[in-house]
Chains A and B, each alone.
Chain A
Amino acid sequence: MRKADRIFGVIGLGLSLWCYLESRKFHYLTDFTPGPGFMPFWVGVVLALLSCYLLYDTFRRKPGKEDDVKILPNKHALYRVGFIFLTLFGVLIIMPLLGFPITVCLFVAVILLSLERYSIPKSIGYGVAYAAVTWLIFEYFLKMGLPKGFLGI
């Protein structure tokens, strides 16, 4: 956990600097009241103090049991998480092109085929089923207006 705390301490310092620099663009005070720069300034200051404390604590304390926990999981788990996240990002990119149902079908099929080791027919079958059910519920019954692709669906 010490490594994780150090990483977050550094990230915290970066965020605090960003808040401070942003606060300088605005008035700190107006006639009677805090200005737009007031809150970002204090967020930056408090975040900087906390980040420094977090970093200091990682050097001060002795290694303990909690330090066995790593911020990154093992390679297998990291692969699974990374794959899911990248696939979701892919959904974001292709949904305006292909439309909602086709994107959902592809998403489910890719996840089941690549990560969960389902067979091709099963993966595609589940993909089609998920796409059909979600389209029926959210587009047909609830009329949510989900994205349509170049095929008009």
Chain B
Amino acid sequence: MGGFATCLTPYNIWMALLGCLLGTLVGILPGLGPSATIAILLPITFGMDATPAMIMMCAVYYGAMYGGSTTSILVNVPGESSSVITAIEGHQLAMQGKAGTALGLSAIGSFIAGILGTIGLVAAAVPLAEFSLQFGPADFFSLIVMGMLTIIFVGGKSIPKSLMSAVIGLGLGCVGTDIVEGKDRFTYGIAELLDGIDFVVLVMGTFGIAEVLVSAEEFMKVEPIKVKFRELFPSPREIFQVRWAVLRGTIIGFIIGVLPGAGPTIASFVTYGVEKSLSKTPEKFGTGVLEGIAGPESSNNAATSGAMVPMFALGIPGSGATAVMLGALILYGLKPGPMLFVENADFVWAVMASMFIGNVILIIMNLPMVPLFASLLRISYALIYPAILIICVIGAYAISTGLFDVGMMLIFGIAGYFMKRADIPPAPMLLALLLGPMMERALYQALNLSHGSMMTFITRPISGALLAISLIMSIAVGTKAVKRARAMVKDDQN
């Protein structure tokens, strides 16, 4: 209840409202995702108290899930990667004159999943945080290894490319002063690199600049389907029809969101697959099936809550956006992980309470204001992308009030552009940049405590269990890959 008392101040409600609005806009407009937006907000919020700043950033994250469905349904262009599935089913419904039903079910499903997901976050984070107080450096090392492997296995279409991206991220994490002997690695006398590469610069480059460059390749002209206010609300029968899809999506999304690296996008795809397999008419999927919208939209919202569980409880990011938020916690002088619940309990509960309020704000904002948001899509993208680029430049400049970070952001931007074109996912690189130094520190501390004995990673029960899970995961994925390769060779021979 203390959390509600803190977040119900006028200033914090205003920050939640601002975050919801920004998140919805970011979700609607292609070219800028929640990760890059939160990264841009970071330097702007430096002077603020941590609580309202984090309330706003969390609101941007789940607000983007609400907004992404609008563009998907009305224009058939996913505003966010997590809304790709909604574009498949939702736009079909819109073409049948039922855009309002699709939008309404998306918003209602997102709201229910958001509320239930937040309840799940509150229920799961505290026991997990208490359990992780027993973690030693060896356990954290093994947890990070497992997290990195999960990111790699679910990060993209090709595991070798995801692995390459992650390893490059680990290499970027080596830049700066090392923790063992205080030596400068990969700095070449550049003072700005002594503290390492700022992850905000990497995020804005690979997720902001690169996205804009990809979107700007062709002149984008959109003509959104018109929708009237009175058509926005689905019938009670339609809401009743999708009740189980919403519940399933919520559970699946929350569980997937908890896994490091597996965010709302994967949650929405998995839920769609589940709904299709459980449906009595799977052949109708792709033609505008209500469960095909409600399930994935619920799932992507629940995943945002799930992604915050490891962020708050363990100090490990669950997704790209939570990786940026994790960096924000460190910048505000907070220690993410189990100690956050001990030393800054007020902050944690206020942020969690704000998520309930944020979801209420979003359902109120999204349903009646959809025609207004849809009209924003008529603004030419030619006017939008220069604004995004300017904001990215400002954000990079504000990190250290210098142009060096702007230059780094541009370099990462062009690298991110070519990575996207070559189908190399940038998310593993970002997460590895954040987790790599943590992993190196944990390894150093663990071996220091055990006087150099590697057995500590196996003899400690938690560490041993986590490494065993990692090994089983690797064998399972490796076996599948070998079977696929053999099948391909057999096809070639035939």
Q: Which A positions have Cβ atoms within 8 angstroms of B?
A: 1, 4-5, 7-8, 12, 15, 19, 22, 26-27, 30-36, 39-40, 43, 46-47, 50-51, 53-54, 57, 61-62, 66, 69-73, 76-77, 80-81, 84-85, 88-89, 91-92, 95-96, 104, 107-108, 111-112, 115-116, 118, 126, 130, 134, 138, 142, 144-147
A107: which of B180, B390, B397, B424 is its contact (CB, 8 Å)? B390
Chain B nearest CB, measured from A56 CB (Å): 10
Taking CB atoms, residues of chain A closer than 8 Å to B414 are 85
Q: List 19 A-B contacts (CB under 8 A).
A: A8-B422, A19-B174, A30-B181, A31-B452, A32-B451, A33-B448, A39-B436, A46-B167, A47-B168, A47-B171, A51-B164, A54-B160, A85-B213, A85-B413, A88-B209, A89-B410, A92-B403, A116-B382, A134-B390
A142-B47 Cα distance, complex, nearest whole Å: 9
A84: which of B389, B424, B488 is its contact (CB, 8 Å)? B389
Taking CB atoms, residues of chain B closer than 8 Å to A85 are 213, 410, 413-414
- Are A4 and B422 also in contact (CB < 8 A) when A43-B174, A80-B216 are? yes
B164:A54 contact, CB within 8 angstroms:
yes
Task: Kindly specify which of B68-76, B349-357, B439-447 makes contact with the partner chain.
Answer: B439-447
Taking CB atoms, residues of chain B closer than 8 Å to A146 are 394, 397
A145-B402 Cα distance, complex, nearest whole Å: 10
B window 198-252: CB within 8 A of A: 209, 212-213, 216-219
Taking CB atoms, residues of chain A closer than 8 Å to B168 are 15, 47
B213:A84 contact, CB within 8 angstroms:
yes
B183: which of A36, A134, A145 is its contact (CB, 8 Å)? A36
Taking CB atoms, residues of chain B closer than 8 Å to A80 are 216-218
A85-B385 Cα distance, complex, nearest whole Å: 12
B44: which of A50, A142, A147 is its contact (CB, 8 Å)? A142
B181: which of A27, A51, A57, A112 is its contact (CB, 8 Å)? A27
B406:A92 contact, CB within 8 angstroms:
yes
B417 located at the interface, meaning its Cβ lies under 8 Å from any Cβ of chain A in the complex: yes
A116-B381 Cα distance, complex, nearest whole Å: 10
- B interface bracket (residues with beta carbon within 8 Å of A): 35 or more
A73-B161 Cα distance, complex, nearest whole Å: 20
B217:A73 contact, CB within 8 angstroms:
yes
Taking CB atoms, residues of chain B closer than 8 Å to A70 are 421
Chain B nearest CB, measured from A33 CB (Å): 5
B393 located at the interface, meaning its Cβ lies under 8 Å from any Cβ of chain A in the complex: yes
B422: which of A1, A46, A142 is its contact (CB, 8 Å)? A1
A32:B448 contact, CB within 8 angstroms:
yes
B386 located at the interface, meaning its Cβ lies under 8 Å from any Cβ of chain A in the complex: yes
Chain B nearest CB, measured from A20 CB (Å): 11
Taking CB atoms, residues of chain B closer than 8 Å to A19 are 171, 174
CB nearest neighbor in A for B401? A145
Q: Which B positions have Cβ atoms within 8 angstroms of A?
A: 43-44, 160-161, 163-164, 167-168, 170-171, 173-174, 178, 180-181, 183, 185-186, 209, 212-213, 216-219, 380, 382-383, 386-387, 389-391, 393-394, 397-398, 401, 403, 406-407, 410, 413-414, 417-418, 421-424, 436, 440, 443-444, 447-448, 450-452, 488, 492
CB nearest neighbor in A for B392? A88
CB nearest neighbor in A for B177? A36
A112-B218 Cα distance, complex, nearest whole Å: 14
Taking CB atoms, residues of chain A closer than 8 Å to B163 are 46, 50
B181:A26 contact, CB within 8 angstroms:
yes
Taking CB atoms, residues of chain A closer than 8 Å to B181 are 26-27, 30, 35-36
CB nearest neighbor in B for A89? B410
- Are A33 and B444 also in contact (CB < 8 A) when A5-B422, A39-B174 are? yes
A12-B413 Cα distance, complex, nearest whole Å: 18
Taking CB atoms, residues of chain B closer than 8 Å to A53 are 160
List the 8 closest A-B pairs by CB distance, nearest first. Answer: A32-B452, A77-B217, A4-B422, A36-B178, A116-B382, A43-B171, A33-B447, A36-B183
A5-B216 Cα distance, complex, nearest whole Å: 24
CB nearest neighbor in B for A111? B386
CB nearest neighbor in B for A44? B171
Chain A nearest CB, measured from B162 CB (Å): 10
CB nearest neighbor in A for B171? A43
- Are A130 and B160 also in contact (CB < 8 A) when A71-B421, A81-B213 are? no
Chain A nearest CB, measured from B166 CB (Å): 9
A88:B171 contact, CB within 8 angstroms:
no
A91:B393 contact, CB within 8 angstroms:
yes
CB nearest neighbor in A for B164? A50
Taking CB atoms, residues of chain B closer than 8 Å to A27 are 181
Taking CB atoms, residues of chain A closer than 8 Å to B218 are 76-77, 80
B160: which of A50, A72, A92, A126 is its contact (CB, 8 Å)? A50
- Are A26 and B183 also in contact (CB < 8 A) when A4-B422, A51-B164, A84-B216 are? yes
- Are A54 and B401 also in contact (CB < 8 A) when A34-B443, A43-B167, A81-B216 are? no
B444:A71 contact, CB within 8 angstroms:
no
A47-B380 Cα distance, complex, nearest whole Å: 42
B413:A61 contact, CB within 8 angstroms:
no
Chain A nearest CB, measured from B237 CB (Å): 42
B397:A147 contact, CB within 8 angstroms:
yes
CB nearest neighbor in B for A26? B183
CB nearest neighbor in A for B188? A22
Taking CB atoms, residues of chain A closer than 8 Å to B393 are 88, 91
A123-B389 Cα distance, complex, nearest whole Å: 16
A104-B322 Cα distance, complex, nearest whole Å: 31
CB nearest neighbor in A for B173? A39
**Apart from A39-B440, A81-B216, A88-B413, what are 20 other A-B pairs with CB-CB below 8 Å?**
A4-B422, A12-B164, A19-B171, A22-B185, A26-B178, A26-B185, A27-B181, A30-B180, A36-B181, A39-B170, A43-B174, A53-B160, A72-B421, A84-B389, A85-B213, A88-B389, A92-B406, A108-B390, A116-B382, A144-B43
- Are A81 and B394 also in contact (CB < 8 A) when A8-B164, A15-B168 are? no
